[in-house]
Amino acid sequence: MLDLTVIPASGATLPEVRINRHLIDGVFTPSRTGPGTSAVTPEVPGQARDGDSGWIERLSPSHGTVVSRAPIGTIQIAELAIAAARSAFDDGRWSALSGKARATVLLKVADLIEANADRMALIETLESGKPITQSRGEITGAADLWRYAAALARTLHGDSHNSLGPDMLAVVLKEPIGVVSIITPWNFPFWILSQKLPFALAAGCTCVVKPSELTPSTTVILGELLIEAGLPAGVVNIVLGYGQPVGATLAQDPRVDMVTFTGSTAVGRGIAAAASGTLKKVALELGGKNPQVIFPDADLGAAADAVVFGVYFNTGQCCNSGSRIIVHEDIAKPFTARVVELSRRVAFGDPLDPATQVGAIVSRDHGAKIDAYVTAARKAGATVALGGAALQVPGLGPQFYQPTIVTNVTPDMAIAREEVFGPVLTVLTFRTLDEALHLVNDADYGLSAGVWSENIHTCLTFARGAQAGTVWTNTWMDGFPEVTFGGVKQSGLGREIGRQGLDEFMEIKSLVMRIGRTRAPWVRPR
Ligand code: NAD
């Protein structure tokens, strides 16, 4: 008897199918044909296309019905968008504005996002399968990122050197890097876009955005809000469709100065390779296999709750998912039992019901991938202590997965090393701090890590030794616009949000000046 908490279908009426369009040079445009024609294609997540036109129908992963349609972008459409961003940058219609003027637009966008939060949250939930309360939190939280970026736009400054000697002065300028391609995933479509776009705009860049083919709508709604807020045409362009050819074109085109990508490590590698042809700047936010280490002296109640939050939040489809815990041997059994018990109380089910904490898996293919990891672990000798199969939610489609906890795991198993991206927790054990750090660092990824202990020496020694972009101490997944974020090792390149998040979109130029006395001649007089 699994005894899980399941929220059945709420019976809410779904809105009309949303029709999305590319945004190029301030105009919303279809690819070639309109929806409802014979060119409509069924959704095949992740499948590469030849770039011809047609429409992608997005089926809600929780409800199984069509919720949006988007044109399949072509190389030509991507190139038009790049050309629009290029000329918008080159004529200075945005980059030449004062920081104050740019901040005014960004603040207006933040207000408009908040005013439209309900409709944005609804479509985000229907496309992604995440609970409506969390979609709303994502949208309103993202508005705060736009406000923070506006503050950066006004306080942006370089550096000066006034101690180079009496005749010299140097000024270090920060200049916008130019045209930026922004490629985003489906798991936090609007949040991740907002970790990039307002910072690029604050810096004075112009952009071409490609959202995931699974979750395009909130990005296109944002396009409408940008126009309403008075952003000049061509400063932000949006191209819909698949990674091939749209994303690939955005990564390799010589008119693009930088590509910033969030998604899987495999695609990130391809983007870095495509960008290398013109040596454009590349920023990558990739996968993670993030450990939480639990010491016996920790507040074990708080730790268990954070472990459960860390693994099931966003159905585990989260780059920061706390997907592996490393528990001290002395407490491993009772702690795991506590986590299993708490897991039964987490509400899985209809994402439209405000009581739901965990919704659907984004696609059928992805659900099968999650299940394959659990099956392989079972075969390799691991124990499935909870879950391990699809979850039946009364009245809804098949794309739900049970909260799953896998024990008797060894560090070499795929489930302990690779990103499952589902509601699946693996449990490893340790005896000493050194051993825990070895397990943490014996990984290809290095996005985030956590430590739970009441001993400050333990916490700080761990934090300094862990190879990760973020280390949480006695908490998990707290984030702030002010605090920069990014990964080490194969979790990424570069940083987002915080002051460093703005610097990513800037070039540095040094002005070295002689003042007062003229320069001593190099050529000797005859
Ligand atoms: P994905 O890599 O499959 O796709 C991401 C985006 O890249 C999509 O827009 C897709 O269309 C596009 N794309 C696909 N192939 C491309 C190509 N050849 N060239 C250019 N673009 C291409 O990732 P996903 O499945 O959408 O998202 C899940 C992954 O994202 C997970 O691995 C997760 O860890 C990662 N992620 C990382 C972070 C982070 O901040 N580190 C945050 C969220 C998600």
Convert the pLDDT of each residue in 272-294 to its tens digit.
Answer: 999 999 999 999 999 999 999 99
pLDDT of residue 199 exceeding 80, the answer is: yes
Phi, psi of 427 (to 5 degrees): -120, 125
* pLDDT > 50? residue 187: yes
Mutational test site, ligand 1, from 264, 271, 318, max ligand atoms within 8 Å of CB: 264
Angstrom distance (rounded) from CA 471 to CA 5: 31
262 lines ligand 1 (CB under 6 A): yes
- pLDDT of 101 strictly over 50: yes
- Say if CB 189 and CB 128 are below 8 A apart: yes
Q: Which atom of ligand 1 is nearest to the CA of 366?
A: 25
Does residue 36 register a pLDDT over 70?
no
Over residues 476-492, mean pLDDT: 97
Q: Ligand 1: distance of its center to the CA of 509 in Å?
A: 32
pTM attached to this predicted model: 0.95
Tell me which H or E stretch contains 489: strand 488-489
Instruction: For residue 262, report the distance from its CA to the centre of ligand 1, in Å.
Output: 5
Question: Among the options 319, 459, 496, 504, which is catalytic?
Answer: 319
**Distance between Cα 287 and ligand 1 center (Å):** 9
Q: Is 183 in the pocket of ligand 1 (CB under 6 A)?
A: yes
Mark whether 285 is an active-site residue: yes
CB atoms within 10 A of CB 408: 15
- pLDDT, the chain, mean: 94
Cβ of 270 closer than 6 Å to ligand 1, yes or no, is yes
Banded model confidence at residue 34, pLDDT cuts 50, 70, 90: very low
Evaluate if residue 51 carries a pLDDT over 90: no
Cβ neighbors of 165 (< 8 A, separation 6 or more) are none
pLDDT, position 30? 76
Residue owning tokens 């489930």 = 415
In sign, the C-alpha dihedral spanning 9, 10, 12, 16 is: negative
As to burial, measured by CB atoms within 10 angstroms (0-12 exposed, 13-18 middle, 19+ buried), residue 223 is buried
Ligand 1 atom 6: the closest Cα is on which residue?
A: 185
Domains, the chain, in order of start with CATH, read 16-284+496-506 (3.40.605.10), 291-473 (3.40.309.10)
Alpha helices in 346-410 (DSSP H): 364-379
Rounded CA gap, 44 and 222, in Å?
25
- The predicted structure's pLDDT at residue 53: 62
**Test site for ligand 1: of 267, 362, 419, most ligand atoms within 8 A of the Cβ:** 267
Mean pLDDT confidence for 444-472: 98
With the most atoms of ligand 1 within 8 angstroms of its CB, the residue from 128, 130, 183 to mutate is 183
Determine the distance separating the centroid of ligand 1 and the alpha carbon of 57, expressed in angstroms: 19
**How does residue 1 score in pLDDT terms, banded at 50, 70 and 90?**
low
Question: Is pLDDT at 42 greater than 80 in this prediction?
Answer: no
What pLDDT was estimated at residue 454?
98
205 labelled catalytic? no
Return all residues near 233 (Cβ < 8 A) that are at least 6 apart.
25, 26, 27, 84, 88, 227
